[in-house]
Structure 1
């Protein structure tokens, strides 16, 4: 890994994509009484999740943040590869050791990250940003839902490593797939990554504090209601691709207390889904 921000010079010259100022971010966020204990920005790495996982195993304390200007081995959900041009987005991981939260509630952390990201990016960018279950960040571009980011969490060294990737300034020609988008393509009013990252980490710290204070209870902390208010999957016909090449088709009617998507099939049976790839199905017009 090579240092970046104020820790070293930039090897790139794209003036439309300035580097993050790591020293300024640390001054704003790594403060007495705050959540964050360290914040590092690197020029390039394979995966911020993998790097922080190794640090967790070595005993890294709670609330470390690792940001990369470029990742060459990033991973998404279901082990999909994920990449983007340098400095075109926010690529970061958080090391979390939720004190007082039972491990069975750790599954709420990716939902918490998604809720914080959607709230922050939507507010600052003046966009409607939704969450496709469980935590894909979506915007509507030209009448079509398109993905601008996603979250991957892993356990390592007794800690949760929460990775987040958001497309900020990707141009149409740079999109990895046609179903992707970026904040810029969606018409965001603000695409300055320094502003977005600082605000996102502050928003997450506030929600995380409420969640841990409630011992991870999604009801008492307000996380469940905050998430469902942004979940674009609820109330829609869906097809869920389940492990083992199985499928479930029905209406997404709820997210339960364990973060599972509840799908009601045509016979009225409610099926809680803990893991699966959701496809939003267009309702048939008669």
Structure 2
């Protein structure tokens, strides 16, 4: 195993801070790095290494820096039991108690795919994660464009996960995934958040859920890459649309520069953009910004 990019292979606790015991929270046992590696790393497979660190600022930042400094191959997975500077889209913070969720990043090098199609990677990851969570945890999971993971808690739609993709160098992308697994109501960072446990998951075993997500991501990535990144030929565009809770809703898209568009979300186009039909009869594709679900149609 290579030295984890988030540390020296041991918890990155601050000096003088008591180090928590391995089983300090029996409801939230630690991940089993060796078992994860045995289950996921195989000849001919996508995943080349699985590293678990106790604490770091951001797995995305660590893996981006790691990829830039060294000749690191594709398929490294970096998982943190706790993040204290996790980042979501639009530079939003992502924090949660230690071992209450899955916080991990993967390094991909999709060199067989034209760069203009790399924008599909976060959407692909969303499809893979939603599929895996529905199967492994028994939680009906939907997607909010572009890549939020939604679950239902008490009849209310809530965000239980998010995805952030960052390009590094000429040929690599680091994709970070955060999923709330066992967070209780009083631990949620914001009222609109949720977790697998609150959504009635049949299992909250993080090893099981992580293996399922990574296997699903490997399958979708290989399918997309084999199709040259074509979202239609790989089935990605159709599958994303089928699981996207944003489509068919009246939404408000807050765009860079302070502008906004309100209308019905009618499609996801071939570039992964959300197409919004405005009241003036114009269809506007949105590729960046914050989308708010106003109401159903």
Indicate how the Cα distance of structure 1 residues 124 and 186 shifts in structure 2: closer, same or farther if over 3 A, else same. same
1:95 and 2:107 matched: yes
Once the two structures are superposed, residues 175-219 of structure 1 have per-residue CA deviations (whole angstroms, 9 ceiling, x without a partner) of: 000000100001111110000001111111011000000111100
Taking the TM superposition and a 5 Å limit, the aligned residue runs for 1:169-248 are 169-248=182-261
Residue among 280, 284, 288 paired with 1:267: 280
Once the two structures are superposed, residues 53-72 of structure 1 have per-residue CA deviations (whole angstroms, 9 ceiling, x without a partner) of: 01111221111100000011
Q: Distance in 2 between matches of 1:46 and 1:220?
A: 38
Deviation larger for 149-158 or 254-263: 149-158
Q: Secondary structure at the match of 1:93?
A: strand
Post-superposition shift, 1:283? 5.0
Contact 1:90 / 1:197 at 8 angstroms: preserved in 2?
Answer: yes
Residue among 79, 82, 85 paired with 2:94: 82
Q: Distance in 2 between matches of 1:281 and 1:107?
A: 26
Counterpart position of 1:114: 126
Q: TM-score, normalized by length of structure 2?
A: 0.92
Residue among 47, 52, 71 paired with 1:36: 47
Contact 1:74 / 1:81 at 8 angstroms: preserved in 2?
Answer: yes
Q: Secondary structure at the match of 2:149?
A: strand
Once the two structures are superposed, residues 70-106 of structure 1 have per-residue CA deviations (whole angstroms, 9 ceiling, x without a partner) of: 0111000000111100000000000000131011111
Indicate how the Cα distance of structure 1 residues 243 and 42 shifts in structure 2: closer, same or farther if over 3 A, else same. same
Q: Distance in 2 between matches of 1:39 and 1:194?
A: 12
Alignment RMSD, CA only? 1.6
Contact 1:2 / 1:44 at 8 angstroms: preserved in 2?
Answer: no
Residue among 12, 23, 26 paired with 1:15: 26
Q: Secondary structure at the match of 1:13?
A: coil
Post-superposition shift, 1:226? 1.2
- Count of aligned pairs: 282
Unaligned ranges ≥5, structure 2: 1-6, 12-18
Q: TM-score, normalized by length of structure 1?
A: 0.95
Post-superposition shift, 1:4? 6.1
Taking the TM superposition and a 5 Å limit, the aligned residue runs for 1:34-183 are 34-57=45-68, 58-158=70-170, 159-183=172-196
Q: Secondary structure at the match of 1:91?
A: strand
Q: Secondary structure at the match of 2:164?
A: strand
Post-superposition shift, 1:110? 0.3
Deviation larger for 61-70 or 140-149: 140-149
Structure 1 ranges of 4+ moved more than 2 A: 1-5, 8-12
Post-superposition shift, 1:157? 2.4
